Amino acid sequence: LQGEVGSGKTIVALRAALNVIDAKAQVALLAPTEVLAQQHHRTISKQLGELATKGKLGAPDYAIELALLTGSVGAAEKREIQSRMKSGEIDLVVGTHALLSEGVGFKDLGLVIVDEEQRFGVEQKELLKKLRTSVDVLAMSATPIPRTLEMAITGIREMSTITTPPEERHPILTYVGPQDEKQISAAIHRELLRDGQVFYIHNRVESIDRVALKLKELVPEARIRVAHGQMSETMLEDVILAFWNRDFDVLVCTTIVESGLDIPNANTLIVERADMFGLSQLHQIRGRVGRGRERAYAYFLYPVEKPLTEVAIDRLNTIATNTELGAGMQVALKDLEIRGAGNLLGGEQSGHIAEVGFDLYMRMIGEAVQDYKSGIIETEEISHECKIEIPVDAHLPESYIDSERLRLDIYRRLADAKEPDEVKPIEEELLDRFGQMPEPVMTLIRIATRPLLRQTQPPCQRGHRQQIGRAHV
């Protein structure tokens, strides 16, 4: 289930959990951090309370047993929860990696819900599935990891997308560029003028205090505190709670704030060394701001004196261009293209696609899945590539459709059309959305309609794909 932060993934997951519990099975919800696990526990408790009040849970004596299992739970309480899970008394357990530790078992596990799925490794997710062979898995993420996304778009796994953005949200204004002290100072000052708060990401614990002192010199009036994973649990909780209560203005922290924090008053984000982060990390970190009605700003900075790698440039370009609400899916697709999908049956979560090319790899996987679903395991049919090159100017000019994503989408739909009747709706849509078609577009439409040639020529074998607009597609 792919959807932006705040789009309602937890409510959808809760509905699935209620169906499973109604069928007398148990549900486990796995979250990457204690903060997020506690947040889910509170949300689910509140929702279940409202449903019980409204009489939506059936008979008055119908009760759902909910438990929270994290690393901070005491040993005695943990043993009691584990015992009740094994006996089937607990219907729904919310937990962190503690759910994957030894001694954890279920009487009848029916559903595993994995939130922030990109934060878990393959082995961790497989551990829960091994507890019972016929367990269903619902993975939720704003930016799925490449392997999960690739399995979804090739048909191995099913995927649903929540595209409706939360109410009263605005796209986050995103800036990617070299680090400049004047710009950092101006960004913090602007946020302070509207009584807002700032996230400043510096992902090095050994130098984080020096960065906080430097910021104090740049903006003397700002109240600044530090948070990182090497602090004690009590100190970290105090800092986060104080930031929530607006006791200070700038939180200098590592990526521990990547998921689970919901602070609507913090609407400026500054990230140092953005070239060192992964694409999904950048998108998740950007999701820390813009959660209220105020316009949010995100600054992804890199050092001027150090050259950027080609992959880092790709990532930063992607995060800079995909700023609209619901851009997580596009970011995840680009991440899949950059990193590859990995080994579908092993532990590697990226790689392999670069060996054969993205398009060919996706086609090979798609054909294998289709064969499996249709019952064709072995076939003697030889797949031929059918290539048609036409020396004409047939393409979608930028002056006609200025969005690269829309142009590629139209090219894809034309290439996938197998009958002339399938081209007609695309032609009508172009006329309706972009106006009168220039000559190259009309030529492209005519070429896409020409598979009527198949009536006079031998048909291509399975694997046939048209290549239209040789120089442009």
Q: What is the pLDDT of residues 207-232, one digit of tens each?
A: 999 999 999 999 999 999 999 888 88
CA 344 remoteness from chain centre: 19
Distances, alpha carbon 101 to alpha carbons 65, 70, 104, 124, 127, in Å? 21, 10, 6, 10, 9
433 Cβ contact list (under 8 Å, min separation 6): none
Strand pairing class (92-95; 266-271) = unpaired
Q: What is the rounded distance in angstroms from the CA atom of residue 131 to the CA atom of residue 112?
A: 11
Half-sphere exposure of 417 (CA within 13 A, CB side): 24
Tallying the residues shown for the chain, one arrives at 473
The more confidently predicted of residues 274 and 60 is 274
Q: What is the rounded distance in angstroms from the CA atom of residue 448 to the CA atom of residue 394?
A: 10
Instruction: Write down the pTM of the prediction.
Output: 0.62
- The torsion of the CA quartet 421, 425, 427, 431, rounded to 10 degrees, works out to 150
Supply 201's token pair. Answer: 């990401």
Residue 334, φ and ψ in degrees, nearest 5: -65, -40
Which string of DSSP letters, residue by residue, matches 314-326? Answer: HHHHHHHH--STT
Which string of DSSP letters, residue by residue, matches 239-297? Answer: HHHHHHTTS-SEEEE-GGGSSS---TTEEEEEETTGGGS-HHHHHHHHTTS--SSS--E
Q: What is the rounded distance in angstroms from the CA atom of residue 111 to the CA atom of residue 134?
A: 9
The more confidently predicted of residues 257 and 238 is 238
Q: Are 81 and 73 in contact (CB under 8 A)?
A: yes
What pLDDT is attached to residue 473?
Answer: 37
Each residue of 396-431: b (16+ CB within 10 Å) or e?
Answer: beeebbeeeeebeebbeebeebeeeeebeeebeebe
Q: What is the rounded distance in angstroms from the CA atom of residue 334 to the CA atom of residue 318?
A: 7
Half-sphere exposure of 162 (CA within 13 A, CB side): 19
What pLDDT is attached to residue 102?
Answer: 75
Chain mean pLDDT for the chain:
78
Banded model confidence at residue 277, pLDDT cuts 50, 70, 90: confident
* Average of per-residue pLDDT across 74-97: 88
Q: Which residues pair with 141 in a beta bridge?
A: 2
The answer, yes or no, to whether residue 280 has pLDDT greater than 80, is no
